[in-house]
Chains A and B, each alone.
Chain A
Amino acid sequence: MDLDYTPEDLEFRKAARAWLAENVPTEPRPADVQAGAAFDKAWQRRLYDGGWAGVNWPKDYGGLGLNGVRTLIWWEECERARAPGYERFTIALTHAGPTIITRGTEEHKAAYLEKILKGETIWCQGFSEPGAGSDLAALKTRGEIDGDYLVVNGQKTWTSGAATAQFQELLIRTEPGSERHKGLTWIICDMSTPGITVQPIGTMMGESDINATFYDNVRIPLKNVVGEIGGGWSVAMSTLAFERGNTFLRDQISMAGKVERAIELARKTITADGKRAIDDREIARKLAELKADALGLRAMAIMNVSNIDRNGQPGPEGSMVKLLVSQVNKQLMEVVADLSGQPFLDYDGTRHSNEWTFDFMWSWVLTIAGGATEIQKEIIADRVLNLPRSR
Chain B
Amino acid sequence: MDLIPSDDQQQIIDLAADFILKELPLTRLFDARYDAGKARAQRQAMADLGWMGIGLAEESGGVGMTVVEEAFILREIGRVVGPTAIIPAILAAKLADGAGLDELRDAIVAGSAGIALAVAEAPLSADGDGVSGVARIYDVQDAQAIVVIVGDEALLLGASAGDLEEVPFLDSFTPVARRDLAGLPVLARAPAAATVQNGLLLTAAYLAGLSEGAVAMVQEYAGIRETFGRKIGAYQAVRHPIAEGAARSDHAKSLLYVAALALRDSRDDVVAQVSSAKVIAHRAATKNADINIQLHGGIGITSDLPAHHFMKRALMLAPWFGGRKPLLDTLLDEPLLTI
Contacts and interface: CB of A to CB of B under 8 A. Distances in A.
Contacts of B273: 295
A87 interface: no
A76 interface: yes
A279 B64 CA distance: 45
Contact of A289 (B243, B262, B267, B279): B279
Interface residues of B, number: 52
Contacts of A310: 2, 4
A193 to B, nearest CB: 41
Interface in B229-271: 230-236, 239-240, 242-244, 246-247, 250-252, 254-255, 257-258, 261-262, 265, 267
A198 B243 CA distance: 38
A387 to B, nearest CB: 4
A261 to B, nearest CB: 11
B3 A302 contact: yes
A1 B5 contact: yes
A137 interface: no
Interface string A1-31: 1111100010001000000000000000000
B275 interface: yes
A303 B257 contact: yes
Interface string B272-283: 110110011001
A300 B254 contact: yes
A226 B250 CA distance: 36
Interface stretch (B184-192, B313-321, B330-338): B330-338
A381 B3 contact: no
Of B3, B223, B232, B279, chain A has the most CB atoms within 10 Å of the CB of: B3
B6 A288 contact: no
B250 A317 contact: yes
Contacts of B261: 1-3
A13 B222 CA distance: 47
A309 interface: yes
A257 B246 CA distance: 26
B329 interface: yes
B257 A289 contact: no
B68 interface: yes
What size tier do the contact residues of chain A reach? 35 or more
A259 interface: yes
Nearest to A310: B4
Given A388-B230, A390-B239, A299 B331 contact: no
A19 B273 CA distance: 30
Main SS of the interface on chain B? Answer: helix
A250 interface: no
A295 B246 contact: no
A35 interface: no
A311 to B, nearest CB: 8
Of B4, B243, B257, chain A has the most CB atoms within 10 Å of the CB of: B243
B286 interface: no
Contact of B329 (A3, A72, A284, A323): A284
Given A288-B331, A317-B254, A374 B240 contact: yes
Contact of B331 (A292, A305, A376, A378): A292
Nearest to B251: A296
Given A374-B240, A381-B239, A388-B222, A292 B279 contact: yes
Contacts of A381: 233, 239-240, 242-243
A257 B337 contact: yes
A285 B2 contact: no
Contacts of B337: 80, 256-257, 260
Contacts of B222: 387-388
Nearest to A389: B234
Contacts of B331: 288, 291-292
A320 B246 contact: yes
B132 to A, nearest CB: 29
Contacts of B303: none
* 8 smallest beta-carbon distances between A and B, as pairs: A292-B276, A387-B233, A388-B231, A299-B254, A380-B243, A288-B328, A320-B247, A381-B239
Interface of A: 1-5, 9, 13, 69, 72, 76-77, 80, 256-257, 259-260, 263, 278, 284-285, 287-289, 291-300, 302-303, 305-307, 309-310, 316-317, 320, 323-324, 374, 376-378, 380-381, 384-390
Given A5-B1, A388-B222, 14 more contacts: A3-B1, A72-B1, A77-B339, A80-B337, A295-B336, A300-B255, A306-B2, A317-B254, A376-B243, A384-B243, A385-B243, A387-B223, A387-B234, A387-B242
25 contacts: A1-B257, A2-B261, A3-B261, A80-B337, A257-B336, A284-B332, A285-B325, A288-B332, A292-B279, A295-B276, A296-B251, A296-B276, A299-B3, A299-B257, A302-B258, A303-B3, A324-B251, A377-B236, A380-B243, A385-B239, A385-B243, A387-B219, A387-B234, A388-B222, A388-B234
